[in-house]
């Protein structure tokens, strides 16, 4: 479902806005202003000029143009929930649009796929901001805007969080504030019987569903299951549903579902997108739409606000080694390990630990990246490597990671995930799949007041030692069932690699697409053969994930008519 938009003009100032604006620092007494965001933004512009972005929040893309002063802005919200793509015409005029494909169309020129973007996609499994898959087309990063002064446009960051380590109050008091803020966010986004909730059985979706049930009895919740060992979480979703008395709706995705809908899903994205959980997100949203829902509340954002991803705990383990005296590390531990035979499991683990611990953050986060672990030179062709900067993905990570001032390593990892995991990946995934299914999606966890609250929870309380979500779990104790609080993290994963081992239709779909990929001069044909062998003979789930990434790229290129 398209994001709702408004337009307004007055005294030579024009405004267009898409999404939902939340007023953070101004009081609008006039009811008309509260119900017409474009008029309200015009008033904010009169008061604050291009500084109006400091007083608005929510989920939005906004454009303001002042014809008298030739000043204005084009901006996206703090998490880039409503995307904006931009570029220039051949005459140097600024072009912007909600789709990456629109910029070249508006400029009247053919699409040209960027080799760097293809490499970035293989690295991240999506094309991260601020570039796109198309040469000459950019996308605004979360919390960024194009500002124009005297007719000249410049991209700038307009907001960044202030992480604080000394703002903690008593945990019970802070937990009550968390639940109050999240409850208010859920209530504000509830639209009556049209609204349901995703329910995976994890912490965040269960909390959102429970608060929706507290606000309105017997809401509909929607869960996805898989008939595959290690992938099905329906049991936990059912526990949450029973606790909060929701109307529990479940759909089991099958290999035949994947086969029938995969080309359509790949084509729905205006850039190649390789997150395999897009498919269960689509089936869940489609299931809800068929059941009469028009809006779903999603739990995305909780892990990135309150430290729930396993890599955060893993990186803390590695931080112990650099804390040792340098002389001990360099003259004793590492020389001794270097002289020991590496055929013993314990020695291999020690060597691996030291090697990873010596890699600084954020580079260490990419240790298990396919291109780093298997070797980019073994995966991509020489022609592609010569056309790209293979260090660019790491520089993108570093720039974002080091942006917050006076932040802990944990908060820097959270902030990096706000961009790459949320804005560039999970939100893009869910937004597009819900749009394809005809569903509007909202994210209560990304309420601006809740985000600001998260920056006041210290790192030591967000994660106690290696215990993830420590503060959050304490806050929801007594509200969520203990089974959900104590369950291992999972989510809407897709057992594609496992299914592919014995489903002829999926095997043929993969074979056809990988055969076309071999002709594109992006990925070495011998690597495609090798990863297919590794999938068959070693680890179907692990290697099947990268096969999915390659297949989704090929399906997208084929849909766009880009021939090998």
d(CA 422, CA 199): 18
Q: Starting at the edge strand that comes first in sequence, how are the strands of the sheet with 220-226 ordered?
A: 247-253, 220-226, 195-198, 295-297, 440-442
pTM of this structure: 0.95
Is 117 within 8 Å of 100 (Cβ atoms)?
A: no
Residue whose C-alpha is closest to residue 457's, from 165, 176, 181: 165
Q: Return the pLDDT at 29.
A: 46
Is 489 within 8 Å of 311 (Cβ atoms)?
A: no
Is 174 within 8 Å of 476 (Cβ atoms)?
A: no
- What is the DSSP code string of 498-541? HHHTT-HHHHHHHHHHHHHHTTTTSB-HHHHHHHHHHHHHT-HH
Joined tokens for residue 122: 């293989």
Joined tokens for residue 75: 């901006």
Torsion, Cα of 77, 158, 389, 86 (10° steps): 60
Q: Starting at the edge strand that comes first in sequence, how are the strands of the sheet with 152-157 ordered?
A: 5-10, 13-23, 56-66, 71-76, 144-149, 152-157
**Sign of the four-CA dihedral 234, 180, 416, 146:** positive
Residue whose C-alpha is closest to residue 172's, from 482, 480, 471: 471
d(CA 508, CA 512): 6
List Cβ neighbours of 386 (8 Å cut-off, separation of 6 or more): none
Q: Could you give the angle at which helices 255-268 and 278-290 cross, rounded to 10 degrees?
A: 100
Q: Could you give the angle at which helices 525-537 and 540-559 cross, rounded to 10 degrees?
A: 140
d(CA 3, CA 46): 26
Q: Return the pLDDT at 233.
A: 84
Joined tokens for residue 92: 């140097």
Is 222 within 8 Å of 296 (Cβ atoms)?
A: yes
Q: Could you give the angle at which helices 392-401 and 115-124 cross, rounded to 10 degrees?
A: 60
Q: Are strands 152-157 and 144-149 parallel, antiparallel or unpaired?
A: antiparallel
Residue whose C-alpha is closest to residue 216's, from 251, 256, 246: 246
pLDDT, one tens digit for every residue, the chain (564 residues):
567 888 999 999 999 999 988 876 655 545 555 678 888 889 889 889 999 999 889 999 999 999 998 999 999 999 999 999 999 999 999 999 999 999 999 999 999 999 999 999 999 999 999 999 999 999 999 999 999 987 789 999 999 999 999 988 999 999 999 999 999 999 999 989 999 999 999 999 999 999 999 999 999 999 999 987 777 789 999 999 999 999 999 999 999 999 999 999 999 999 999 999 999 999 999 999 999 999 999 999 999 999 999 999 999 999 999 989 999 999 999 898 888 887 778 888 888 899 999 999 999 999 999 999 889 999 999 999 999 999 999 999 999 999 999 999 999 999 999 999 999 999 999 999 999 999 999 999 999 999 999 999 999 999 999 999 999 999 999 999 999 999 876 544 689 999 999 999 999 999 999 999 999 999 999 999 999 999 999 988 889 999 999 999 999 999 999 988
Examine residue 515 and say whether the peptide bond preceding it is cis (omega within 30 degrees of 0).
no
What is the residue whose two structure tokens read 């697409």? Answer: 513
Q: Return the pLDDT at 338.
A: 84
Domains parsed from the chain with CATH numbers: 5-157 (3.60.20.10), 171-308+412-485 (3.40.50.620), 312-401 (no CATH), 496-559 (no CATH)
Residue whose C-alpha is closest to residue 307's, from 410, 442, 443: 410
Q: Return the pLDDT at 30.
A: 56
d(CA 368, CA 356): 10
CA distances from 135 to 87, 110, 197 (A): 10, 10, 38
Q: What are phi and psi of 556, to 5 degrees?
A: -65, -45
């Amino acid at each position: 479902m398209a994001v709702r938009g408004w337009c307004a003009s007055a005294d030579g100032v024009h405004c267009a806005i898409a999404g939902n604006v939340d007023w953070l620092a101004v009081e609008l007494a006039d009811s008309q202003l509260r119900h017409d965001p474009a008029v309200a933004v015009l008033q904010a512009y009169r008061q604050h000029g291009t500084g109006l972005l400091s007083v608005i929040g929510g989920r939005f893309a906004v454009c303001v143009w002042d014809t008298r002063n030739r000043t204005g802005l084009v901006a996206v919200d703090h998490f880039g929930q409503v995307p904006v793509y931009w570029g220039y015409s051949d005459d140097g005029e600024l072009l912007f649009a909600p789709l990456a494909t629109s910029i070249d169309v508006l400029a009247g020129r053919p699409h040209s796929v960027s080799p760097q973007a293809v490499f970035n996609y293989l690295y991240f499994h999506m094309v991260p901001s601020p570039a796109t898959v198309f040469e000459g087309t950019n996308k605004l990063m979360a919390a960024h805007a194009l500002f124009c002064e005297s007719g000249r446009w410049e991209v700038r960051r307009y907001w960044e969080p202030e992480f604080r380590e000394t703002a903690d109050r008593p945990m019970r008091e802070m937990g009550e504030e968390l639940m109050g803020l999240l409850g208010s966010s859920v209530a504000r986004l509830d639209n009556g019987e049209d609204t349901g909730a995703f329910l995976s059985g994890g912490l965040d979706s269960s909390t959102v569903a429970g608060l929706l049930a507290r606000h309105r009895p017997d809401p509909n919740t929607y869960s996805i299951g898989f008939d595959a060992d290690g992938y099905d979480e329906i049991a936990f979703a059912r526990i949450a549903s029973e606790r909060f008395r929701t109307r529990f709706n479940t759909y089991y995705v099958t290999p035949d579902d994947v086969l029938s809908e995969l080309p359509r899903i790949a084509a729905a994205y205006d850039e190649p997108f390789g997150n395999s959980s897009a498919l269960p997100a689509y089936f869940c949203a489609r299931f809800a739409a068929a059941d009469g829902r028009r809006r779903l509340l999603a739990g995305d954002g909780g892990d990135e606000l309150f430290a729930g991803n396993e890599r955060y705990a893993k990186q803390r383990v590695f931080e112990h080694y650099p804390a040792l005296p340098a002389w001990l590390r360099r003259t004793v531990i590492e020389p001794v390990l270097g002289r020991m035979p590496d055929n013993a499991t314990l020695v291999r683990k020690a060597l691996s630990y030291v090697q990873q611990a010596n890699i600084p953050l954020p580079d260490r986060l990419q240790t298990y990246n396919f291109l780093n672990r298997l070797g980019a030179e073994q995966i991509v062709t020489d022609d592609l490597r010569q056309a790209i900067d293979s260090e660019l993905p790491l520089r993108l990570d570093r720039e974002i990671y080091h942006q917050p001032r006076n932040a802990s390593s944990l908060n820097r990892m959270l902030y990096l995930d706000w961009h790459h995991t949320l804005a560039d990946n999970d939100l893009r995934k869910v937004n597009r799949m819900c749009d394809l299914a005809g569903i509007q999606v909202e994210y209560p966890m990304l309420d601006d007041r809740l985000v600001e609250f998260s920056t006041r929870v210290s790192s030591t309380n967000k994660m106690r030692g290696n215990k993830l979500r420590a503060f959050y779990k304490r806050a929801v104790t007594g509200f969520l069932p203990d089974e959900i609080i104590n369950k291992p993290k999972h989510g809407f994963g897709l057992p594609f690699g496992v299914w592919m081992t014995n489903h002829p239709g999926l095997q043929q779909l993969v074979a056809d697409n990988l055969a076309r990929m071999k002709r594109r001069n992006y990925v070495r044909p011998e690597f495609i053969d090798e990863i297919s062998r590794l999938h068959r003979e070693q680890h179907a789930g692990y290697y099947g994930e990268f096969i999915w990434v390659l297949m989704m790229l090929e399906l997208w290129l084929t849909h766009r008519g880009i021939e090998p």
